[in-house]
Amino acid sequence: MKKKVYSILVLSIVQAVGAGLVLWLWSLFITNAEKWMNVGNNQPSVASMVVLPSVFIITAVMSGGAVLGYPLALVLKGRWYGAISLVALTLTWLGLLAAILISIY
């Protein structure tokens, strides 16, 4: 029992850090996207209208899969308590990570 709690705790931290990393890369991309995608006269290019939503969808799928993939596998095995606690712990760690980053910056 103690090993299960420890593994869920560690897995939730890893998932939160992974999701935070994906969100950081997304924000880095959005911050610099204007330099890469605008052509003269501040007119957005056709490529920017395709690339920006595509990267957003890819990012959403990656972070959703990272956070909800294993809990979905747990639910399919009938381990509802483990799945719900893993999602709750991951969201808690994400909230703490966001609070720490907001207080630093």
pLDDT tens by residue, 26-60: 888 888 877 777 656 667 777 777 888 888 898 88
Mean pLDDT, the chain, rounded, equals 86
Comparison of pLDDT for 82 and 43, the residue scoring more = 82
pTM over 0.85: no
In this prediction, residue 74 carries a pLDDT of 92
Rounded to whole angstroms, how far apart are CA atoms 92 and 98?
10
In this prediction, residue 77 carries a pLDDT of 95
Which residue has 């760690």 as its token pair? 93
**If you average pLDDT over residues 57-74, what whole number do you get?**
89
